[in-house]
Chain A
Amino acid sequence: MAELSKKTLEHLAELARINLNEEAAQKGEPRPGEAGREKLLNDLQMILGHFGELQALDTSSVQPMTGGTNLENVLRNDENATQDTGKGLDAFPENKDGYLKVPPVF
């Protein structure tokens, strides 16, 4: 089984769009960012290590179970149930003219 490295963890955080304790580090607090990352890395390594037991099972002839149900092709008519953008819009932290407002993408 693969070992999770510090570098991989940083890459995962980038993929998952999560800063890891950067703020605490920026504020100059006594290395909580570093300690926090260390603990996180250890926890994840421990959990992944536990998963190693699955490799002992021979699953070469087993079909994967890809969901919780055997239902297939549950479709509905392609119609708009509502024309009302309604209250969903109110939840946006920032909006303008019925659109979502965000900072520049680039």
Chain B
Amino acid sequence: MHLHDLTIKKFHEGLVNKEFSAHEMAQEVFDLIKAEDGKIHAYLSLNERMALRQAEEADLKIAKNEPVGFLTGALMAIKDNILIEGLPCTSASKILENYTASYDATVIKKLKSSGAVFLGKTNMDEFAMGSSTENSAFGPTKNPHDLTRVPGGSSGGSAAAVASHMAVAALGSDTGGSIRQPAAFCGVVGLKPTYGAVSRYGVTAMASSLDQIGPFTKTVEDAAILFNEIKGVDAMDSTSSPQASEIKEEDLLKPKLEDIRKLRIGIPKEYFVEGLSAEIGSAVEKAIQDIKSLKVEIKEISLPHTKYALSCYYIIMPAEVSSNLERFEGIRYGSRQSAEKLIDLYKKNREAGFGDESKRRILLGTFVLSSGYYDAYYAKAQKVRRLIAQDFDQVFKEVDLVLTPVTPTLPFKFGEKTDNPLEMYLSDAFTIPVNLAGLPAMSLPVNQTKKDKLPVGFQLIGRHFKEADILGLGQYYEKLSR
């Protein structure tokens, strides 16, 4: 079995049929990382010793004929804002350069008990703020399909690791598109679960009313497997919902075609307007035509407040960022500058520790929350957020899923948008509304014909806690191409 062919499912089958051992595959993947990652830079740190030991444990279970799940021995990469006890967790920031996690995130605890193997921590935009990984304090990740182009962000390292077979699957986080946009740019599957479906305990908080953890995989089937393992209510995250624990495994893993055929799909006209590149437009059109062959109902819908989502998001998110990033002052974590007074210590640590984009968003957030401006910006944005959420409530009365492009353009070149933050923000225009409304959505690659093309993704958005609808249709869509 070649690493290129490995999915979670195939890895599991190969393991239980004793075609290979988890240890030898782990060794092979580390060899690949050492040979290739100098070019791509998907990983910030590797976890070879612990990973090989975890792989041996998986092999031992197989040898003893103990029951094993889909994730036993699965070779996974984890975004560097998710805590694994004893490993570095930098959030790609200088201010956390020397920080070692003192506990496991809930998702990590769950994956450990499922027997997953953690290969290392992946690169990202600093504190998950960016759309290209160019904001990483430790240098950008390259897109495996074209090394002159960005992999997307902020979870660019996780997307690139899976796309270049340096991991079978990965975890990322998505606040405004940080799983879906890099998944689209790298040609892999990325799922942002419903807000509250996956515990965020142990992920470095960016914008707490928007953040979600989710999987990167090579297939929709794998995304369903991984989501099934990490979902569920958690006492350590008061925003995680009991509804998450009610999502049924069989609905995720074994969708029935007769149920999928009943789904009605809406295409919002507001997503197919100026700014959408011709390549993306025609690729998404092709995906729509392919889905039509599954005999589902497709109709045009309207989400009238779509164009306000970007402004709304870029008020609410920095407001939450300015609050969440207060904790990084060099007192309790990370490296410390020297100063005679405490207040100067804060200022010096934060000046030296944060990159430009982090500073920009902290200042922007401080502004929109400050006295005299609060009503005009933050309070207004909260109302607009309600309108955007209501748009979706309205369309979900007549359709079950919404299908859109993920990004307005193909992966862009390094440096193309770094001078103009607003232009960078626009690359999230199609993913942001989903986070504002707290809905689940998945980016999956369009089945393209020519091999030399850059990947294009399309997005399926579902009702709250209806990941099964998205993953179900996605699984039948990917079968069409095989």
Contacts and interface: CB of A to CB of B under 8 A. Distances in A.
Interface of A: 1-2, 4, 8-9, 12-13, 15-23, 40, 43-44, 46-48, 50-51, 53-55, 57, 59, 62-69, 71, 74, 76, 86-88, 90-94, 100, 102-106
A91 B102 contact: yes
Given A59-B380, A100-B331, A76 B351 contact: no
Residue of B310, B322, B385 with most partner-chain A CB within 10 A: B385
28 contacts: A4-B367, A8-B367, A15-B370, A17-B343, A18-B359, A19-B350, A19-B351, A20-B359, A23-B352, A40-B356, A44-B360, A47-B314, A47-B364, A51-B314, A53-B307, A53-B308, A54-B315, A54-B381, A57-B387, A59-B383, A59-B387, A63-B383, A68-B196, A69-B438, A71-B196, A87-B102, A93-B330, A103-B339
B359 to A, nearest CB: 6
B389 interface: yes
Given A2-B376, A102-B331, A18 B383 contact: no
Interface of B: 85, 99-100, 102-103, 195-196, 208-210, 235, 238-239, 241, 305, 307-308, 310-312, 314-315, 322, 329-336, 339-343, 345-348, 350-352, 354, 356, 359-360, 362-364, 366-367, 370, 372-373, 376-377, 379-387, 389, 421-422, 425, 436, 438
Contacts of B238: 71, 74
A34 B334 CA distance: 28
Nearest to B384: A54
Contact of B389 (A43, A65, A87, A91): A65
Nearest to B379: A64
Contact of B386 (A13, A17, A54, A64): A64
Contact of B332 (A50, A63, A100): A100
A51 B315 contact: yes
Given A12-B367, A93-B331, A93-B334, A54 B308 contact: yes
A106 B385 CA distance: 42
